[in-house]
Structure 1
Amino acid sequence: MGRTNATYRDLLTGIEERWQPYRRALRHRNKPYFDQLFEHARAHADAGGYLNHDEPLFPILVSMLLEQERRIQHLENQLADSE
Structure 2
Amino acid sequence: MGRTNPTYRDLLERVEGRWEPYRRGLRRDDKPHFDRLFGHARTHADASGLQNHDDPMAAILLSVALEQEKEIAALSARVAALEAAIEDSSGERG
Settle same-fold status: TM greater than 0.5.
Answer: yes
The answer as to 2:68 corresponding to 1:68 is yes
Give the Cα separation in 2 of the matches to 1:8 and 1:46. 8
Stretches of structure 2 that go unaligned for 5 or more consecutive residues are 84-94
- Under a length normalisation based on structure 2, what TM-score does the superposition of the two structures give? 0.85
Question: Which is greater in Rg?
Answer: 2
- In the alignment, the residues of structure 2 paired with residue 68 and residue 3 of structure 1 have an alpha-carbon distance, to the nearest angstrom, of 36
TM-score, normalised with respect to structure 1 = 0.96
Three-state SS of the structure 2 residue aligned to 1:70 is: helix
Matches within 5 A, 1:1-83: 1=1, 3-83=3-83
SS in 2 for 1:28: coil
Higher relative contact order (CA 8 A, sep 6+): 1
The 1-side partners of 2:2 and 2:48 are apart by 21
Counterpart residue identity of residue 55, structure 2: E
1:2 Cα deviation from its structure 2 partner: 6.0
Shift of 1:15: 0.3
Q: Moved runs in structure 1, 4+ residues, more than 2 A? A: none
CA deviation profile, 1:38-66 (whole Å, cap 9, x unmatched): 00000000000000001111011000010
| Identity of matched residues, % | 59
Question: Unaligned stretches of 5+ in structure 1?
Answer: none
Q: Secondary structure at the match of 2:29?
A: helix
